[in-house]
Amino acid sequence: MAEWTYMDTLNVPMYPCVRRIIRHGNGRMELDGILEKETWENAPWTDAFVDIEGVARKPNPLLTTRVKMMWDDDYLYVGAVLQEPRVWGTLTEKNSIMYHENDFEIFIDPDGSHHNYYEFEINCLNTIWELVLHRPYKDGHSLENPYNLNDIHSAVHIIGIPNDPSVQCKQWSVEVAIPLKELVQFDERRSRLVQAGDSWRMNFSRVHYDLNIEKNNETGKDHYVKVPNQREYNYVWAPTGIIDIHRPEKWAFVYFLDLPTVDSLQWQQTQLTLQRELARENILTTAYYKQREYFDVHGVYAASLNSLYGENTPNGLTLETTENGKIYQFVYIDEAGKKHSINHESKYLKP
């Protein structure tokens, strides 16, 4: 429970995803990896990425990473700018394990169930890797690797020269167009295309390694190599509190607007609504982590709420378990009489 006690202190970001203004005909936005252009001007930036463990435990990154998003009828557009003096990447084969080198990663959970979510990774050479996780790793992960969308598009732009230690770069930036139609399969609750007023859970991650410069024995030229015996840095939009990005309960809310600009007053009201939604979810997430801790000690899940909460059980919360104590479900009835639930594999269902 100590794990969640800290995780629960971390702020969950919220982002207003504006509609794309289509200026020249219809169809997909042309991608070139450059965000300093008119197309992106109305999309707000996320806050700069922080260490995945949170600012209370790790200092802020020296290199800035920020993201913008927008959408139209067909695509979710993600644009990222990664400050980087040493742009480095060698992987050129699609669906290579991208996080072994510096990369940028996207995670999308449309129905907020913590299950059945899409992952996209890309490096500075525009090499991509796609996969789907049906359950997070902490819950005995089930994944499909690779899992490629048919209509995915991406572009990378580099200010500098990649893989050349003689050149100090400024940044590399990414544009990705993700087909909304193909994301419907990950929204089991609504089973339809996204609409204005919907919210998704998403996160972004930047994997970064410290590099040495060594001479290539074959070419005689300097090249980058990872510093040996040193793990990667994980810089993220929404920190999870531990070195595990696969905690969807801590991912950000992305709210889809029906306008190309953000109305600040309306957005404030929307954030209050999302905060109330998160508070209801956290009642169940807290119960789930209490059960994990109980299982670690006893080898079975608690059969009663009293074993977990004593006299402090939240109003509206009930517990259902099987006779063998291996499977359970918490149910929470909210103030409007609507049912929310979470099970032993952290799958969260809401109205």
Question: Where a domain ends, among 195, 228, 262?
Answer: 262
Question: What pLDDT, on the 0 to 100 scale, is given for residue 25?
Answer: 67
300 Cβ partners below 8 Å, 6+ apart?
324, 325, 326
Question: What pLDDT, on the 0 to 100 scale, is given for residue 129?
Answer: 99
Residues 203, 68 share a domain:
yes
Residues 17, 56 share a domain:
yes
Residue 32 belongs to a domain: yes
Domain count, the chain: 2
Residues 228, 84 share a domain:
yes
Residue 173 belongs to a domain: yes
Alpha-carbon distance of 251 to 263, in angstroms, equals: 23
Q: Which residues pair with 265 in a beta bridge?
A: none
The two three-digit tokens of residue 68, written as one number: 């913008």
Residues 197, 336 share a domain:
no
DSSP category for residue 154: E
Residue 337 belongs to a domain: yes
Residue 87 belongs to a domain: yes
Residue 1 belongs to a domain: no
Residue 112 φ/ψ region, left for φ over 0, alpha for ψ in the -120 to 50 degree band, beta for the rest: left
Domain extent, residue 290, equals 266-349
293 three-class SS: helix
Mean pLDDT by 10 residues, the chain (351 residues): 92 98 84 97 99 98 99 98 99 98 99 99 99 97 95 99 98 99 98 98 99 92 97 98 98 99 98 98 98 94 96 96 87 97 98 93
Question: What pLDDT, on the 0 to 100 scale, is given for residue 141?
Answer: 81
Residues 241, 217 share a domain:
yes
CATH code, 90: 2.60.40.1190
The answer to whether the CB of 191 falls within 8 A of the CB of 93 is: no
User: Is cis: bond before 314, omega within 30 of 0?
Assistant: no
Residues 146, 52 share a domain:
yes
Alpha-carbon distance of 21 to 33, in angstroms, equals: 18
State pTM to two decimals. 0.97
Residue 4 belongs to a domain: no
Question: Where a domain ends, among 262, 280, 305?
Answer: 262
Alpha-carbon distance of 165 to 153, in angstroms, equals: 29
Residues 205, 150 share a domain:
yes
Residues 233, 201 share a domain:
yes
Residues 209, 153 share a domain:
yes
Residues 257, 211 share a domain:
yes
DSSP category for residue 26: S
Residue 227 belongs to a domain: yes
Question: Where a domain ends, among 206, 238, 262?
Answer: 262
Residue 3 belongs to a domain: no
Residues 202, 90 share a domain:
yes
Alpha-carbon distance of 46 to 264, in angstroms, equals: 15
Residues 308, 272 share a domain:
yes
267 Cβ partners below 8 Å, 6+ apart?
16
CATH code, 315: 3.30.1300
Backbone CA torsion sign across 111, 114, 117, 119: positive
